[in-house]
Structure 1
Amino acid sequence: MGDSPTRRVLVIGGGASGNALTILLRRAGIAVDLIEAKPDWNATTGSGITLQGNALRVLRELGVWERVSDSGFPFGTLGITSPDGTVLHVAEDMRTGGDELPATLGMQRPRLQQILIDAVRASGAMVRLGTTAEALEQDADGVSVRFSNGTEGRYDLVVAADGLNSATRAAIGITGKPEPTGMAIWRITAPRPEGVERTDLAYGGPAYIAGYTPTSENTLYAFVVEACRERASLDPADHADEMRRLAQEYGGAWPEISKHITDPEEVNYTWFHRLLVEGSWHRGRVVLVGDAAHCCPPTLAQGAAMSLEDASVLAELLTGGREWDDELFQRYYERRVPRVRAVVEASVQIGRWQLDDVRDADLPGLIIRTMNLVKELP
């Protein structure tokens, strides 16, 4: 089987990994249908995102780096502060995407999604929004799919890019499920105060971490990490009051940021989860990418990078002239899993040290080892 344009792939889910894979497969002449459950394609969802160099490297491969660069806020250092805002240490961020890309770029998440949406549209993929896969039936040659709108399709490959709570993962009999790590995060978008030109993290105080990241010339996203609470105890109408209560004990840019924590609908509250599907990321001709296969707390800011790398590696294998068979899909898993496991375990470990109040943990060493790993090409 060569790179014949008669091949058809269904991508389920239009997040970062699904969009990236669609763009790369279309570039190789493969027919791609992309379905996304949300009618608005998640174009307005989320506050900010921190993209490190290895994520930027994939975005450059997708041909969207220039637009990403124009929209985001690049920086090369990380500030560690006390809760009152006193800067304790400024660390150089590792350029995990190579010397020609910034070490880190903060960005508004909806802006990144829109850039990827535009690239998918330009690729010529067939996109159907507000649509899910209701049933998958596999045989030796492909997958027959029945959609929620009553139509059916036949594909050489189905890619499950439908996120943390992937219905496709469950439908093909993979039993792994995301597990809470014990932490949760409050996030909000706010105007960027003058002088905020990198991520600053305060450890301690009323929460485990309070931080902010510039996402454009005019915006930042701010976040507070605490032990997770039962959602039933949190009235969404009180989200702004709760986040502001936690934030008010922090100095630095926080007093200015806190003035904008007023609308509960602008505050996002999420539990941290961990997931790593073991053994393989496929069953027959259905393959997992991104959060459907793995997820981790954002303590290393590597979640989106791992998902984008999945798409890059899978596209490379699918367009390399090999048979689309168990051996190829297992090769994809074996290339990805050591790197992803290291990131998931390190991200969870950092949170565990905080939950357990471990004072002598080798946090810098763990971060450096993990960043050295992701600096290598995936």
Structure 2
Amino acid sequence: MKNILVVGGGISGTVATLALQQQGKNVTLLERSEHWHGVGHGITVQGNALKALREVGALERILPRTHPFTELQLRHADGRIITTVDTPRTGGPELPPTLGALRSELQSVLVDMIHEAGVEVLLGTRLISYRNEQNSVVAQLSDGTSRRFDLVIAADGINSETRKLAGITHEKKPSGLGIWRVVTCRTPEMNCASVFHHGPQYKAGYTPISADLCYAYVLTDPVRPDNGLSDTEELKRLLAGYHGPFDFIRESITEENMKNFQPIEWLFVDDESWRDGRVILIGDAVHACPPLIAQGAAQCCEDAVLLAEYLAQDGPVEALLDEFIQRRKKRVAGVVEASLQLADWELHPEQEGIDTAGVMAGALQQLTQPA
């Protein structure tokens, strides 16, 4: 297997491209955007993602642009610390258990590496259709060309067009939650992630992403109210009931800060195959979970690196792909189940037996095992 098409230039697609290119494969990467560069808000990157990024040689370039930390603080909305827990080292003892970063910084490193490697990148281009033939796939692209590949890897996200082409019936689903995110200043004392409970919204928190910046968030209803407020005014209104470090965060938010709101959606293709012939889907295209344990990027990175490892093995390609899919489904299922349980507890806090810290710690502890 030599010629591979990767559809989608996000985290899953870029890491898969690098892993395959480093094996000597000829990779063509499709990205539907005409301008491909790092974009997005803050992101929490856990140790198992760092392990995958190390595998493709990206970690040393990413680390200087981030803020590593080892603990998670659980706080009351008034700012009091309820407890502090150590974050399990899901990437092994030699890597930071967690770090905060701008998604744009992470993506920019991966994009730069792909260009430096000389990978063929087709911007503003989509996969329109495909046809499986013996030991190959004929791909029809939106630029009007038709090209033959040994394999197509679809990493085109939760809104994947390839998912429908492959006959997968699952669609993304609402979680019942929405999230506001903002990148703003932090104090030196805000040096690890903190999550605030028992406030007027479902939950709020922040993660440091550099020496002087953090990204803060608040979980809300999934529809932004039409109340005439600007994004800055609305975010400050939502955070008014959170104190301690949030008093500083709230006052530091201005119109110039990067901020966004979106409903939280999820997807898990658990009972259908992730492949159609020699077309296989990975990442958020088949498993996008709510960000309650911050494993979205990590699971995408694991998919990408592990798939490349399977494709380096000898044996029938279809059998290798099926073995990869079954292995990843078991891993991802635990992440999705824990994330949905946490989301349900946010929506229905009157339930008995709520153990947010226990579920988070248990899910991350399981991820200390190899992917």
Pairwise TM-score range, normalised by the shorter structure: over 0.9
The alpha carbon displacement at 1:262 in A equals: 2.9
In structure 1, how many angstroms separate the alpha carbons of the residues matched to 2:228 and 2:5? 36
Cα deviation code 1:40-94 (max 9, x no counterpart): 2252x21111011111110111111111111100000011111111112111111
1:306 alignment counterpart: 299
2:254 is the counterpart of 1:262 = yes
1:235-274, aligned counterparts within 5 Å?
Answer: 238-263=230-255, 266-274=258-266
User: Quick check: 105-114 or 145-154, which moved more?
Assistant: 145-154
2:133 alignment counterpart: 139
1:366 alignment counterpart: 359
Kept in 2, the 8 Å contact 1:237–1:264? The answer is: no
2:337 alignment counterpart: 345
Letter of the structure 2 residue corresponding to residue 316 of structure 1: E
Q: Give the CA RMSD over aligned residues.
A: 1.6
2:161 alignment counterpart: 167
Between the two proteins, what is the percent identity of the paired residues?
A: 39
Letter of the structure 1 residue corresponding to residue 260 of structure 2: N
Letter of the structure 1 residue corresponding to residue 356 of structure 2: L
Letter of the structure 2 residue corresponding to residue 288 of structure 1: L
Cα deviation code 1:200-224 (max 9, x no counterpart): 1101211111101001112110000
Kept in 1, the 8 Å contact 2:13–2:155? The answer is: yes
Gaps (5+ residues) in structure 2? none
Which of 284, 294, 309 is equivalent to 2:287? 294
SS in 2 for 1:259: helix
Letter of the structure 1 residue corresponding to residue 36 of structure 2: W
Cα deviation code 1:169-203 (max 9, x no counterpart): 11111111110010110001112222110011101
Kept in 1, the 8 Å contact 2:182–2:257? The answer is: no
Q: 1:334 and 1:133, CA in 2 relative to 1: closer, same or farther beyond 3 A?
A: same
Gaps (5+ residues) in structure 1? none
2:6 is the counterpart of 1:11 = yes
Which of 274, 282, 303 is equivalent to 1:281? 274
1:40 alignment counterpart: 35
Structure 1 residue ranges, 4+ long, deviating more than 6 angstroms after superposition? none
The alpha carbon displacement at 1:234 in A equals: 4.4
SS in 2 for 1:90: strand
Cα deviation code 1:139-173 (max 9, x no counterpart): 22211112212222111111110000100011111
The alpha carbon displacement at 1:237 in A equals: 7.1
2:58 alignment counterpart: 64
Kept in 2, the 8 Å contact 1:261–1:267? The answer is: no
In structure 1, how many angstroms separate the alpha carbons of the residues matched to 2:72 and 2:132? 48
Letter of the structure 1 residue corresponding to residue 19 of structure 2: L
In structure 1, how many angstroms separate the alpha carbons of the residues matched to 2:221 and 2:357? 23
SS in 2 for 1:116: helix
SS in 2 for 1:338: helix
Please report the TM-score for the alignment, with normalisation by the length of structure 1: 0.94
Letter of the structure 1 residue corresponding to residue 336 of structure 2: V
How many pairs were matched up? Answer: 369
Kept in 2, the 8 Å contact 1:236–1:264? The answer is: no
Q: 1:257 and 1:363, CA in 2 relative to 1: closer, same or farther beyond 3 A?
A: closer
SS in 1 for 2:247: helix
In structure 1, how many angstroms separate the alpha carbons of the residues matched to 2:355 and 2:183? 32
User: Quick check: 290-299 or 278-287, which moved more?
Assistant: 278-287
The alpha carbon displacement at 1:236 in A equals: 9.6
Kept in 2, the 8 Å contact 1:26–1:124? The answer is: no
Please report the TM-score for the alignment, with normalisation by the length of structure 2: 0.95
SS in 2 for 1:245: helix
2:93 is the counterpart of 1:99 = yes
In structure 2, how many angstroms separate the alpha carbons of the residues matched to 1:338 and 1:25? 24
The alpha carbon displacement at 1:235 in A equals: 7.9
User: Quick check: 147-156 or 282-291, which moved more?
Assistant: 147-156
In structure 1, how many angstroms separate the alpha carbons of the residues matched to 2:303 and 2:227? 37
In structure 2, how many angstroms separate the alpha carbons of the residues matched to 1:142 and 1:323? 13
